[in-house]
Chain A
């Protein structure tokens, strides 16, 4: 038997870089934990996610309760509240109040819930649907031609326009917002999956599987599907981030989630007209929105660098 040299030495010595070969490397978790993007992004995200279950602990107020007495208070001002038995007491408003007297801090904390629900569900749904369509397009020529034309058409319509049109035509609700954001995301997932399938099906190991009589469905499941997982996790993370952004934009433009539901976009939309005097209505939710998307994007970048360097960031 020939001498067995490790591949690391081989490739360095030949000054050639081997492509996709799996190298001997540290386990995935330890590599992930060595990436600063993953750590910073992850911690930031844990903080934001923790707002959801702890909302009731952080604030005793109702995010939708209108209180004319407390309109347009600046951050740090005292709010006059009435408890159930009608007694008055004062509370400090950490982020001020909006023009209807609702506490911005309370609304921001509750707003995290909607943003995260939208981000997560859009990511999961569009990856699942895109994976299914992409596998079919990549493996069956006939379907490919039709599917890709439809995808090209969907891609040609600007995502925001498509989403705005879908929401305003079918009525604003959390569900329609999610669907409206999913639809423009799908073509991008389909393209990614399809390109992976097209390159994997040329691999000799797939041809070897064909020649040992493995049926097509099993080839897809065994040899092709596993190759899509890493890129899809990365891409799904980015989708999650951009879905949260898009939801905020839709709400901000007044065509998103119904205005009575506290979302970061809605809070900002309601602060627009008084922005010059009371900028806190826009800045606080804006900061949280930015931090959330930043956390997710950093996590995505770190994941990509660690588990799948091939995926590039595209829209």
Chain B
């Protein structure tokens, strides 16, 4: 267990290194001079040249890279070009809405998807199965912003049950916070319900064909026991995997959802930063998202060892 743990944690390093190299190269090798972008249209050539020196862009690429890595290792992500604030503190301010949205979404998705996926597998070919499968195909295909606008139009504009947009901090009351999160997280959860339900169904179906299920039946166990104790327990690893994938790709959906519902989270921050070519912020955000992705994968791998005794490392 411990050697595995250490090995697995160390394996994170090359991935993060590759990510930082990609980010570094992306920001420097794509056409367009950051300095002239930052300086704006009114800047003179001299201004830009001055800025280039200031930003360290005149140094050779390897030197820039060394400085960049050194700063990353120190946890120094620099200062936003735009807001002249430390990037870290800006990220800190935007974490809460994003985290709340992600948490709501994933809880809704799991609570709906896992039971329905399991039932669909158990009653393969039934009307319930067809509905679940049908929903999962449609759920994959409707873009989150379309769902978002449909929900807003029905529940906010027409029925006036929910506010159209916006976010309320948790510190201002849990009821208001939850109330404003319902629509955005419902919109975002559709695709994850589709994904998780389908994966749950597939894994349970696969497990139901295993020899040990036949053994369990040959022991005269009841259907519920066969399903819960034998099938679901064995299907847990692929289900957890797909929930992990869902959490990891949740970040992409968050950007869009935050934009539709005007939630001041990391997604909105990213969008503003990219459009404003606020390099330090973009850099920090991409690295942050990647770290989250890598950590979730790590966590899932560790969870396997609890779920499946065969996995020994």
Interface residue ranges, A against B (CB under 8 Å): 17, 37, 149-150, 152-162, 164-166, 168-171, 241, 245, 248-249, 252-255, 268, 275-276, 279, 282-283, 286, 289-290, 293-294, 296-298, 301, 312-315
How many residue-residue contacts, CB under 8 A, span A and B?
150
Which residues on B sit within 8 Å (CB–CB) of A170?
Answer: 30-32
B14 and A149 contacting across the interface, CB-CB below 8 Å: yes
Chain A residue numbers with a CB within 8 Å of B289 are: 157-158, 161
Given the known inter-chain contacts A157-B286, A158-B249, A255-B275, please indicate yes or no for A289 contacting B21, CB distance below 8 A. Answer: no
Asked whether, in the complex, the Cβ of B141 is within 8 Å of the Cβ of A241, the reply is yes
A249 B141 Cβ-Cβ under 8 A: no
Given the contacts A149-B18, A165-B274, A241-B141, A312 and B149 also touching, CB distance less than 8 Å? no
Determine whether B290 belongs to the interface, using a CB cutoff of 8 Å to chain A: yes
A15 to chain B, nearest CB (A): 9
| Alpha-carbon separation in the docked complex, A241 to B194 (Å) | 15
- Please name the 8 residue pairs, one residue from A and one from B, whose CB atoms are nearest each other, closest first: A153-B18, A294-B141, A286-B146, A160-B252, A169-B30, A156-B290, A293-B141, A158-B251
Cα A156 to Cα B143 with chains together (Å): 22
15 inter-chain pairs at a CB distance below 8 angstroms, sorted by A residue, are A37-B137, A153-B19, A154-B22, A156-B18, A161-B255, A164-B271, A165-B274, A169-B26, A253-B255, A268-B145, A275-B149, A279-B153, A279-B157, A294-B141, A313-B199
Are B26 and A166 in contact (CB-based, < 8 A)? yes
Interface residue SS majority, chain B: helix
Of residues 75 to 116 in B, which have CB atoms within 8 Å of A's CB atoms?
none
Most B CB within 10 A of own CB, among A37, A150, A153, A156: A156
Within the complex, which residue of A160, A169, A296 is in contact with B256, where a contact is CB–CB below 8 Å?
A160
Q: From the candidates A158, A165, A283, A301, name the one contacting B26 in the complex (CB within 8 A).
A: A165
Q: How many interface residues does chain B have, given as a range?
A: 35 or more
Q: B residues near A, CB below 8 A?
A: 14-19, 21-23, 26-27, 30-32, 137-138, 140-143, 145-146, 149-150, 152-153, 157, 164, 195, 198-199, 202, 209, 245, 248-249, 251-252, 255-256, 259, 270-271, 274-275, 277, 282, 285-286, 289-290, 293-294
- Cβ-closest chain A residue relative to B251: A158
From known contacts A254-B275, A297-B141, infer whether A152 and B15 are also in contact, taking CB-CB under 8 Å: yes
A36 CB, nearest partner CB in chain B, Å: 11
**Are B22 and A282 in contact, CB atoms less than 8 angstroms apart?**
no
- The one of A161, A254, A276, A294 in contact with B251, judged by C-beta atoms closer than 8 angstroms, is A161
Contact B137 A298 (CB under 8 A): yes
**Interface contact B256-A252, CB-CB below 8 Å:** yes
Task: Check A315–B249 contact: CB distance below 8 A.
Answer: yes
Q: Given the complex, which residues of B lie within 8 Å of A297, measured CB to CB?
A: 137, 140-141
Query: With A253-B271, A254-B275, A279-B153 in contact, is A294–B145 under 8 Å at CB?
Result: no
